[in-house]
Chain A
């Protein structure tokens, strides 16, 4: 592995769910790269495929859904080519995930300490005796000490007393800290966070985001944050990718996305956000609904809701244009028309002129 290899390189993955005689295309040709220690935000409305995208990275989409094509290179190795046992060794150890609803994500039947310890045991983080239960007392005790340490790190007060508590005895914030502790147990290189604060109060939300920021800075853990909250992503991330109907429609640094949004959808998202301190502001929702993922147009999926729509938008697939260095945008009208190699731009320009 050379030092220039990005931590994660996702190349044109497609995730599909066969449903009856239709195929729901939840993730379409999604590509991005993530460097070590970087934080990438994936922003989009509910149902745009962002959670499915995250689960695809771990190969955990529920059957009969599957990643149909593409490459997911983690430090150069394609996760999609790995055997199941190789993949299991990655899960939790190299790539860990934090989920949206902490109460339903923690197993109600086991103590929180036990659930954190399970991660340690699975990947033999502490000791390696592999003695079967109940002859593993020494290893269990060592693991427990490590669990207490992790609980302390993620800010669970008096871990000793909390080790044997059950999830339902925790507040929402503590539950989410437990999930983070589970994810951090094996010190993964990449943390996938699926709306980690959606189910929490605003104040708790800030605490959790600070904790994640701290983890990122202290451990150099790269994070992919999936959220519907552009404001949260703007504050927390280095780069943002905006997803719409299973595709990335715009991608750039936080400043580019927030200050100079190119895609009409990103602009719409920004207009939907109330700003504190401004009275009588108009919040403009985006009219219409997300198109069905089972019946996506080949052309621009946002065209039906776009106020700048032209005929040409409905005529063929729109590629991601690189507008400035690294700023990608999937829109004909707001791009600088700096074309990507595989795109036959000439014919589009001809069609546009012909109108």
Chain B
């Protein structure tokens, strides 16, 4: 039953993706700037005929609805077109960069969950203690600190001063890592390359912390407030009246129910982890999707932007589908609609 519902929801993403595709298509073309002009630069050494040829090659001379038709027809077949600038298929470009972005997002997610859960729970259990005040003000700092600044500070401290962690990149040179999946951590484990594993994990630390810090802060605050609520609930009093030990009351009876609002927020934050990391990728020289997209926007590289946005949208929709499925486990009253 649950399986069928999940399948229904997955199929339900098709019209969403279709809508996203159309919106992205039009909005990029609303931005001023002609891709061909930008591509050719200001040199003026190109003839009008050559420009015309390029326009024709990219179908930019056709009416918008014809261009849209081409785009949708190809996208439905899994072809997101050719990058104007990089002259490669968009799917290949994204496929090359996406693992780095996902690896970083997962690292940041794991970091933020590891930090946020203990802090959120302990702050709620010891409400108004110095620990609670300290962690909540740190969380506030975490939310309001700009990522690039935090990243630079961390680099200065841990890389430049202490030499504990690498400054940038995904892996050091000369580990001889064979790439299969594009996920360096996974590849090192698969090939049993311990040196590469160590190096890629060390490279992940600072970007993950920088990207995950504001996310951790949000999750911790939400978890704390929902824990405060569930700790005051009647069922927690019932659990205590049964003789359940206090820490088990907190973990089993209170936390389980406090997870519901928290999971919602985690799902929404996944969007930020994937889409909001252009700055972090730049600071840490991380060869991910974010930097490529920023460049594509400046180049008016329409196919590449469209493809990337569709990937972002798809991941976001999937993350929230996972959240919805988790709901039904956390709270039996909720069913997948």
Do A96 and B253 contact each other (CB < 8 Å), given the known contacts A105-B234, A106-B235, A108-B235?
no
Do A109 and B237 form a contact, CB below 8 Å, given A89-B243, A122-B242? no
B238 contacts which chain A residues (CB < 8 A)?
97, 99, 105-107, 179, 182
Contact segment of B7-15, B25-33, B326-334: B326-334
CA distance A255 to B210 in the complex (A): 73
CB pair B241–A93 under 8 Å, yes or no, is no
**With A166-B332, A168-B332 as contacts: A107 and B235 at CB distance below 8 Å:** yes
Is the pair A96, B241 in contact by a Cβ cutoff of 8 Å?
A: yes
If A166-B332, A168-B332, A182-B238 touch, whether A107 touches B257 (CB-CB below 8 Å) is: yes
**Given A108-B331, A168-B333, A182:B242 Cβ within 8 A:** yes
A215 at the interface (CB under 8 A from B): no
Residues of A within 8 Å of B240, CB to CB, are 58, 60, 91
Q: Does chain A have a CB within 8 A of B233?
A: yes
Alpha-carbon gap, A101 to B237, bound state (A): 12
**Residues of B contacting A92 with CB < 8 Å?**
241-243
Assess whether A109 is in contact with B243, with CB atoms less than 8 Å apart: no
| Known contacts A109-B331, A109-B332: A88-B245 contact under CB 8 Å | yes
* A168 cross-chain contacts in B, Cβ below 8 A: 332-333
Partner of A97, one of B235, B241, B331, B332: B241
In B309-334, which residues have CB < 8 Å from any A CB?
Answer: 330-333
- Choice from B245, B246, B330 contacting A109 with Cβ under 8 Å: B330
A91 & B241 in contact (Cβ 8 Å cutoff): yes
Q: B94 contacts the other chain (Cβ, under 8 Å)? A: no
Interface assignment of B256: CB less than 8 Å from any CB of chain A: yes
Residues of B within 8 A of A108 (CB): 235, 257, 331-333
Interface members, chain B 231-272 (any A CB < 8 Å): 232-235, 237-246, 253, 256-257
- CB contact between A104 and one of B233, B239, B243, B244 (< 8 Å): that residue: B233
The smallest C-beta distance from B259 to any residue of chain A, in angstroms, reads: 9
Give a binary string over A149-174; 1 marks a CB under 8 Å from any B CB, 0 the rest. 00000000000000000101000000
Taking the closest CB of chain B, its distance from the CB of A2, in whole angstroms, is 27
Neighbouring A residues of B330 by C-beta, 8 Å: 109
Q: Is the CB of B257 within 8 A of A109?
A: yes
Q: CA of A123 to CA of B232 in the docked complex: distance in angstroms?
A: 24
Rounded to whole Å, the gap between the CB of A199 and the closest CB of chain B is 11
Contact of B243 with A93 in the complex, beta carbons under 8 Å: yes
| Count class of interface residues, chain A | 20 to 34
With A101-B234, A104-B233, A104-B235 as known contacts, state yes or no: A58 contacts B331, CB within 8 Å.
no
Chain B: interface size category: 20 to 34
Among the listed B233, B242, B331, which residue makes an inter-chain contact with A91, where contact means beta carbons less than 8 Å apart? B242
Max chain A Cβ within 10 angstroms of own Cβ: one of B238, B240, B331? B238
Note all chain B residues with C-beta closer than 8 A to A123: 243
- Give A113 Cβ to nearest chain B Cβ, in Å: 13
Q: Does A119 reach chain B (CB closer than 8 Å)? A: yes
> Are A122 and B332 interface neighbours, CB within 8 A?
no
- Distance (Å) between the CB of B84 and the closest chain A CB? 53
Q: Mark B19-51, 1 if CB is under 8 A from A, else 0.
A: 000000000000000000000000000000000
Does A238 sit at the interface, judged by CB under 8 A? Answer: no
Q: In the complex, which residues of chain A have a beta carbon less than 8 angstroms from the beta carbon of B331?
A: 108-109
Give the distance in Å from the alpha carbon of A122 to the alpha carbon of B248 in the complex.
Answer: 11
Q: Which residue of B lies closest to A54 (CB)?
A: B241
Q: Which chain A residues in 65-93 approach chain B with CB under 8 Å?
A: 84, 88-93
Complex interface: chain B residues within 8 A of A107 (CB) = 235, 238-239, 253, 256-257
**For chain A residues 5-33, which have a beta carbon within 8 Å of chain B?**
none
Answer whether A105 and B242 are a contact pair too, CB < 8 Å, given A166-B332, A168-B332: no
* A45 is an interface residue with CB less than 8 A from chain B: no
A97 partner residues in chain B, CB cutoff 8 A: 238, 241
Residues from chain A with Cβ under 8 Å of B333 in the complex: 108, 166, 168
Q: Is A62 in the interface zone, CB < 8 Å from B?
A: yes
Q: How far is the CA of A337 from the CA of B30 in the complex (A)?
A: 94
- Judge whether A118 is part of the interface by a CB distance below 8 angstroms: yes
Q: Which residues of A contact B235 (CB under 8 A)?
A: 104-108
Asked whether A88 lies within 8 Å of B243 as measured between CB atoms, the reply is yes
Whole-angstrom distance between the Cβ of B235 and the nearest chain A Cβ: 4
Can you name the residue of chain A whose Cβ is closest to the Cβ of B253? A107
Of A60, A93, A119, the residue contacting B237 (CB under 8 A) is A60
A94 to B, closest residue via Cβ: B243
Residue of A nearest to B246 (CB): A84
| Docked complex Cα distance between A179 and B137 (Å) | 41
Which chain A residue shows the least CB distance to B128? Answer: A64
* A104-B234 contact given A60-B240, A166-B333, A168-B332, CB 8 Å threshold: yes
Sorted nearest first, the 9 A-B pairs with minimum C-beta distance are A91-B243, A92-B243, A92-B242, A107-B235, A105-B234, A97-B241, A166-B332, A104-B234, A88-B243
Interface CB pairs A-B, < 8 A, 23: A58-B241, A60-B240, A62-B232, A84-B246, A88-B243, A92-B241, A97-B241, A99-B234, A99-B238, A101-B234, A104-B234, A105-B234, A105-B237, A107-B238, A107-B239, A109-B257, A118-B239, A118-B244, A122-B244, A123-B243, A166-B332, A179-B238, A182-B238
